Structure 1
Amino acid sequence: MNGLSCNELCCLFCCPPFPSRIAAKLAFLPPEATYSFVSDETGNKYTLHLTEKAEWQYSQRELDCIEVFMTRTSRGNRIPCAMVRCCPNAKYTLLFSHGNAVDLGQMTSFYIGLGSRINCNIFSYDYSGYGRASGKPSEKNMYADVEAAWQALRARYGISPENIILYGQSIGTVPTVDLASRYEVGAVILHSALTSGMRVAFPQTKRTWFFDAFPSIDKVSKITSPVLVIHGTDDEVIDFSHGLAIYERCPRAVEPLWVEGAGHNDVELFGQYLERLKQFITMELVN
């Protein structure tokens, strides 16, 4: 999500400002797919195969803990899903909506490391048009994608809502907030969240226009679950003010994590990131 050029600004306001058009201009950067799903003889079971585009190749032990499958959204797209079993006795499963310009092939190594450190399993999916998902990226598709992932997680694994933590990072906070505003869950984690598309492109925006994309700021007040907000104070993509605004609007927000000196893509490298997650999941949610 970068600032807009003069030419893009003209297009934005001279053309009909439909939310899907704003979303496409501001947000979606699907990378070249870094993985494929290889089916067995029956065609019903898949295994994850990483291409040479992936930055990290897994050991067989790591591959054995990743179960992958496809599911269909209400808008007709087929999206890949992955269950990363990090801990055999995990109480919580994170439904993780990842950030921009990455896909499941790039993220699963992070999921293995994160889940094993915070004692959670992680379930994730690719947005329409990302990785091996069909369709094109759009705001409406993104909401249908997270709903399909939620339904697949519930139906396939029988996990109760109170044992699910919704985790959204960057653009992934958009579907996370939408889902969390409609279902009560164990908890919600919003990492580098944006308030709305227009507010990212035009920081002086004070209200939500009818054509705005990703209006998360208007949905967070409907979240009834505990919410942990995480944001870097030096975020160069989604300004720190977005995290503050989201935090102030959440009815059940817990103590946030403001990572001093962190940007948009390096929050996880700071020690307090894991410390805060562990405290939230193992102590605050239990109590």
Structure 2
Amino acid sequence: MKLVRNILAGLAVLAIIAYLGILAGLYFLQRDFQYDRGGRMFALSETALTNAELVSIPTEGGAALAGWYAPPQAGKPTILYFRGNARSFSREYGRYEQFVADGYGFLAFDYRGFPGSPGEVSEEAILADGLAAYDWLAAKGGRIVLWGRSLGSGPATYVAGRREAAALLLETPFDSAVAVAADRYGFLPVGLLMFDQFPVDSWIADVDEPVFVAHGTADSTIAVSHGERVYALAPVKAGLWIEPDADHADLWEHGLWRRAKTFFESAP
């Protein structure tokens, strides 16, 4: 009996040590888990964006953000596009080609720490980068609409609450990054561990632009319930589109751009 107790006590100690090891690993390496910063930045010459230009956006910290900019046709707004988490913004050039083909201008860029922009990634840096991109674009004049995809739903919402835009579209958003982490690591105290929590559920209270939210029921990266909660909190609701069986990267193929255009055209 004493031997059994000793074995159980030893196993308990090992389990505690393993648990603490997991906590330490996630704490010190958390940004490597949270952000996908690999890949390369495409050249404009690899795309059909003949009217776009490579731009450098200055930030208060002295870093310069790499971006692509194309002006709109008369009467159309410019989309300030807040990219998602994976690799460089430039990999989504197919979207930008469609924006331009339909007369919209756009500005898309890499946050600090991603392939096109030097520096270290953090919530603070991403939010500052979002404001810098908005201010750079606003200096050109004209109507601005904001589009935040996945991770980009954080800075897009933050910027919408602190700057003036005509509309805010959130594609596969989260109500907070810490809530997404809790979905995956419910056995860990992620609220105490995470540096970059992106509390969209708090920031959206300051948004007075009309908000459109798009999500898929089969999203395995950010559950659809996050998008539903974000929309419920939006002060000015302009549409919630939930696409059955769409995963995290499927909404464009399911007709997101058609719905986005309708939303942008109805914005004041």
**TM-score normalised by length of structure 2:** 0.82
Residues 84 and 111 of structure 1 are in contact (CA less than 8 Å); yes or no, is this contact kept in structure 2?
Answer: no
Q: Give, in angstroms, the shift of residue 263 of structure 1.
A: 0.4
Output the CA distance in 2 between the equivalents of 1:279 and 1:186: 13
Mapped to 2, the partners of 1:199 and 1:134 lie a distance apart of 28
Residues 232 and 10 of structure 1: CA distance in aligned 2, closer, same or farther (over 3 Å): farther
Q: CA RMSD in A?
A: 2.8
In 2, Cα distance between equivalents of 1:106 and 1:90: 28
Aligned residue for 1:68, secondary structure, equals: strand
Higher helix proportion, which one? 2
Given the superposition, is the C-alpha separation of residues 251 and 67 from structure 1 closer, same or farther in structure 2, using an over 3 Å criterion?
same
Note the C-alpha offset of 1:267: 0.8
Instruction: Give the match for residue 277 of structure 1.
Output: 260
Q: Show the 5 A alignment for 1:91-130.
A: 91-117=76-102, 119-130=103-114
Query: Which has the greater radius of gyration?
Result: 2
Q: Distance in 2 between matches of 1:263 and 1:16?
A: 26
* Aligned equivalents of 1:17, 1:171: Cα separation in 2: 20
Residues 11-42 of structure 1: CA deviation (Å, up to 9, x unaligned) = 67558969xx75x1542111222335xxxxxx
Instruction: Please state if 1:68 is matched with 2:58.
Output: no
Identity across matched positions, percent: 25
| C-alpha distance in 1 between matches for 2:212 and 2:37 | 27
Q: CA deviation at 1:76?
A: 2.3
Note the C-alpha offset of 1:209: 4.7
The answer to whether residue 144 in structure 2 is matched with residue 158 in structure 1 is: no
* Correspondence 1:168 to 2:148: yes
CA offset digits 1:49-98 (Å, max 9, x no partner): 5xxxxxxx32xxx343111221221122211121134x522421110011
Opposite residue 39 of structure 2, the aligned amino acid is: E
Against the structure 1 CA distance between its residues 251 and 35, is the aligned structure 2 distance closer, same or farther, given a 3 Å change threshold? same
Listed as ranges, the gaps of 5+ residues in structure 2 are 1-15
Q: Give the structure 2 partner of residue 131 of structure 1.
A: 115
Q: Which of 127, 133, 148 is 1:143 aligned to?
A: 127
Q: What is the CA–CA distance in structure 1 between the aligned matches of 2:26 and 2:96, rounded to whole Å?
A: 40
1:278 Cα offset (Å): 2.5
From 28, 31, 36, give the equivalent of 2:38: 31
5+ unaligned residues in a row in structure 1: which ranges? 1-5, 37-47, 50-56
3-state SS of the aligned residue for 2:107? strand
Whole-angstrom distance in 1 between the partners of 2:201 and 2:261: 27
Contact 1:84 / 1:108 at 8 angstroms: preserved in 2? no
- Over 3 Å counting, the alpha-carbon distance change for 1:7 and 1:264 in structure 2 is farther
Distance (Å, rounded) in 2 between the aligned partners of 1:277 and 1:104: 19
Determine if contact 2:169/2:260 at 8 Å carries over to the other structure.
no
Q: Indicate the residue corresponding to 1:257 in structure 2.
A: 241
